[in-house]
Structure 1
């Protein structure tokens, strides 16, 4: 038990650390906490992109049920999946430095950059998610809907994804302007 505690504590260290308190002297060098957070953030972004791609797939399958040949191609399905992945990758989680650069405002005041990015991200996530939810329900229940409704739901998803991408662009441009770096 003593050795396992020493290994865990040394793995979480920021550099070399002697763990004589537990009866062992272990000197190891591991990744620091900030590197682990960066890896976790990358994994989170990849997971969000996969969710966005899956959402794009469901929307594409819902649109494929229409009579139009435009939505029945593999390229359309692939492009909708990539568009969804890009939207969820860029838009849902705004850079953490954006929150650090936001200036405090009085109640009732509006900070354009931060508030616009947050509102666009939230609205885009809501619209894209509601469209995916509707199409999954339509597909699972094998319900037939009118083509106009399918187009409306597909446009809702496309606009929501576009708002997510815009939110990511607003948030990242604010960080670059305020901080001077990416």
Structure 2
């Protein structure tokens, strides 16, 4: 019984992360779509929301490599190595959250940034979400 409750709680947590990712994608899509006429469509906003939901669902809660602090660094072991999934997850989450925060700031403050800032925000969002998806995929493939 307890196992089912834990699994359900974990599932709810992941769905919450996916909703946060979708909301972030909505803000980035709304900002970018309002600045670049070619991207002013519901399909673009839905694509940004779907990417955010998938990225945050897969990439934020990645199972890390086992940590062995007392082992010496060796060529065969994982001690001292960088966990690529954990690093990609952290960097991708930071980048996606930063660009979403910037988008919200632009929308709320009603500023009109230069077009290169808008393109940079969109590229940062896409790279961050892709990093999260890759991190989640790597972490789940090694289990």
State the TM-score, normalizing by the size of structure 2. Answer: 0.89
**Are 1:52 and 2:18 matched, yes or no?**
no
Alpha carbons of structure 1 residues 157 and 67: separation in structure 2 relative to 1, 3 Å: closer
1:68 corresponds in structure 2 to 37
Give 1 or 2 for the bigger CA radius of gyration.
1
Matched, 1:111 2:64: no
| Residue 123 (structure 2) aligns with | 155
Change (3 A) 1:41 1:146: same
Aligned residues: 137
Aligned: 1:133 with 2:101: yes
Distance 2:124 2:36 in 1: 19
In structure 2, do the counterparts of structure 1 residues 74 and 33 end up closer, same or farther at CA, with 3 Å as the change threshold? same
Query: Which of residues 75, 78, 84 is equivalent to 2:46?
Result: 78
Residue 110 (structure 1) shift = 3.2
> Structure 2 unaligned runs (5+)?
none
Q: Distance in 2 between matches of 1:92 and 1:75?
A: 25
Task: Supply the distance in 2 between the matched residues of 1:103 and 1:145 (Cα, whole angstroms).
Answer: 44
Equivalent position of 1:6 in the other structure: none
How far 1:111 moved relative to its partner? Answer: 3.2
Counterparts of 1:132 and 1:73, CA distance in 2: 19
The equivalences for 1:34-49 within 5 A come to 34-49=3-18
* Displacement of 1:107: 6.1
Q: Which residue pairs with 1:121 in the alignment?
A: 89
Residue equivalent to 1:7: none
Give secondary structure in 1 for the equivalent of 2:113. coil
Superposed displacement of residue 146, structure 1: 1.1
Higher RCO by CA contacts (8 Å cutoff, separation 6 or greater)? 2
The structure 1 segments of at least 4 consecutive aligned residues displaced by more than 4 Å after TM superposition are none
